[in-house]
Amino acid sequence: MLAILAQSPAFWSALTDKFYLNFVKNDRWRYLVDGLGITLEVALCAVILGAAIGFVVAVIRTTHDKHGRLRLLNLLCRVYLTVIRGTPMTVQLLIAYFVIFASSKNGTMVAILAFGFNSGAYVAEIIRAGITSIDDGQMEAARSLGLSYVQGLRAVVLPQAIRNVLPALGNEFIVLLKDTSIASFIALRDLSKGGEIIRSQTYDAFMPFLMVAAIYLVLVMIFTRLLSRLERHLHRTGA
């Protein structure tokens, strides 16, 4: 069927017409490019925020589990993890925008905070698994040399833990990048919203949404490539 279509000149001219209508006419491509900018801004800022939160939460949780310290902070962390992981991302985003930051008109900032706090919960559990996977002898050796607990974590345990969970962290970033597509719920003009705006103007869903999907796919593929290069590099330098 498609093969027959592809041979007909009418099919090709219809396709180029649609392309022109959706992306070139009235500079509609700008909706996608501007949307991509917002998507990347939200994803990158959220991943940094999420990594920072995840790091701190993971260290608090493992310190508590191994040494019985930081009981109150550990309790807070557990409430945070339970709430974030137990509710849908979309609902969290809506609550952040319409309840917590109801007075704020800065949708991008609200999205960064919501996605960052959401990602932090998952990153925390990934890093915690990484820390627990490191043999206790590593920290003992560090302490026996006179390093403090924090020095031992920083110089000995965390570098090994992060390396072990790098694939899982990369996966978490990919999930986050794609999750940002729900930012249009709070009227953020991200990449997905860009496609939706074009559709509402041209009444054509096929072209804009396929283009949007293709852009996400290319982003994820580029990131996957970068990540596996980093993994190979780390693998060359040590265990």
Partner 1 sequence: MQTDTNKTDPFLSDRPIVPPGQPLIVVEDLHKSFGALQVLKGISTTIRKGEVVVVIGPSGGGKSTFLRCLNLLEAPTSGRIWFGGEEIASGGSLQRDGSDLRLSHRARERNLNRYRSDMGMVFQRFNLFPHMTVLDNVTMAPRMIRGVSREAAERKAMELLERVGLPDKAKAYPQQLSGGQMQRIAIARALAMEPRVMLFDEPTSALDPEMVGEVLAVMKELAANHMTMVVVTHEMNFAREVADRVLFLEGGNILEEGPPDEFFAHPKFDRTRDFLGKVKDK
Contact residues for partner 1 (CB under 8 A)? 67-68, 135, 137-138, 140-149, 151, 155-156, 159-160, 163, 237-239
Tokens of 231: 């993994």
Minimum CB separation from partner 1 for residue 56, in Å? 19
Rounded Cα distance between 191 and 212, Å, is 7
CB-nearer residue toward partner 1: 159 or 170: 159
CB-nearer residue toward partner 1: 32 or 153: 153
| Close Cβ partners of 23 (under 8 Å, ≥ 6 residues apart) | 29, 32, 198, 207, 211
Rounded Cα distance between 203 and 89, Å, is 29
CB-nearer residue toward partner 1: 143 or 199: 143
The total of other beta-carbon atoms located within 10 Å of residue 63's CB is 18
Tokens of 30: 């700008």
Minimum CB separation from partner 1 for residue 171, in Å? 22
Minimum CB separation from partner 1 for residue 62, in Å? 13
Minimum CB separation from partner 1 for residue 138, in Å? 6
CB-nearer residue toward partner 1: 36 or 70: 70
Rounded Cα distance between 167 and 175, Å, is 12
Tokens of 70: 């930081």
